[in-house]
């Protein structure tokens, strides 16, 4: 059972998300919150598997709420999915940088939203890679003109650097395996080792590190 915390300041949005999630086998709504402080409190209380987090809310916004949640040791297994109205929301890159596992547009089709929750819960790839790459390039181009290498970057092998760059391209483990003519298990092992060496919470953070460090193609 995947437990989901719903965070949005609009009652109608939460109502729609609740109806969708409760109608799907294998899902449960852990709680709801209408603002950032409520999100932090409900996350600590219910320890959900996944949080659907709106960004623009009164009080502390979804960005600060995400920051507090991902730095809480007891919530290490919780994944945050940012909800945004626009593909190039000015806050989304920062949310990914501080530990959100990806983002969804609020008009995402119901079936895709449920699949996205499953994917992040299972530790899968960053969502909507084509749109996400556009977003990250937008912000790295505007705010990170010079590479800022990660302090542990030198720990990566040449192969791991290559694979991190492919992760930043939005490739899955199977796609990386086909591209490099290696097994999916080997690709998965390299990705996991890179994440450990770079202290990346998940693939979303690995993508951000790749762009910030200059490993990904701009």
- Asked if the domains 2-123 and 147-213 are classified in one and the same CATH topology, the answer is no
Give the dihedral sign, CA 112/45/56/58. Answer: positive
What pLDDT, in 10s, does the model give residues 171-185? 888 889 999 999 989
- How much is the pLDDT for 132? 55
What pLDDT, in 10s, does the model give residues 56-83? 888 899 999 999 999 999 998 899 998 8
Strand partners, 5: 31, 51
pTM of the model as a whole:
0.72
Q: Are 36 and 62 in contact (CB under 8 A)?
A: yes
Q: Exposed (0-12), middle (13-18) or buried (19+): which is 142, by Cβ within 10 Å?
A: exposed
Q: What are phi and psi of 23, to 5 degrees?
A: -85, -5
Higher pLDDT, 214 or 216: 214
- How much is the pLDDT for 107? 84
What pLDDT, in 10s, does the model give residues 87-101? 555 677 778 778 888
Range from 15-24, 95-104, 206-215 that averages highest in pLDDT: 15-24
**CA 136/CA 154 separation, integer angstroms:** 23
CA-based R_g, the chain, Å: 17
**CA 8/CA 31 separation, integer angstroms:** 12
From the options 3.90.850.10, 3.40.50.2300, 3.30.1280.10, 3.40.50.2000, give the CATH code of 2-123.
3.40.50.2300
Q: Exposed (0-12), middle (13-18) or buried (19+): which is 147, by Cβ within 10 Å?
A: middle
Tell me the pLDDT of the chain averaged across its residues.
85
**CA 107/CA 90 separation, integer angstroms:** 18
On whether the 147-213 domain is CATH 1.10.3720.10, my answer is no
Higher pLDDT, 26 or 59: 26
Q: Which residue has the tokens 């993508």?
A: 207
Higher pLDDT, 26 or 135: 26
Domain segments of the chain: what residues? 2-123, 147-213
Residue 135: pLDDT over 90: no
Higher pLDDT, 112 or 21: 21
């Amino acid at each position: 059972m995947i437990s989901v915390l719903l965070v949005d300041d609009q009652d109608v949005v939460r109502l729609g998300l609740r109806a969708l999630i409760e109608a799907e086998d294998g899902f449960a709504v852990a709680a709801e919150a209408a603002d950032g402080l409520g999100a932090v409190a409900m996350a600590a209380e219910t320890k959900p598997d996944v949080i659907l987090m709106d960004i623009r809310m009164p009080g502390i916004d979804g960005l600060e709420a995400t920051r507090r949640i991902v730095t809480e040791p007891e919530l290490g297994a919780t994944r945050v999915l940012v909800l945004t109205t626009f593909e190039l929301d000015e806050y989304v890159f920062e949310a990914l940088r501080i530990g959100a596992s990806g983002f969804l547009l609020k008009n995402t089709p119901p079936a895709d939203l449920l699949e996205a929750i499953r994917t992040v819960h299972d530790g899968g790839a960053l969502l909507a890679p084509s749109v996400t790459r556009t977003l990250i390039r937008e912000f790295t181009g505007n705010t990170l003109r010079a590479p800022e290498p990660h302090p542990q970057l030198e720990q990566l092998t040449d192969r791991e650097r290559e694979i991190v760059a492919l992760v930043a391209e939005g490739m899955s483990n199977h796609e990386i395996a086909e591209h490099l003519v290696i097994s999916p298990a080997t690709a998965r092992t390299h990705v996991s080792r890179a994440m450990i060496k770079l202290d990346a919470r998940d693939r979303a953070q690995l993508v951000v590190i790749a762009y910030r460090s200059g490993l990904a193609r701009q």
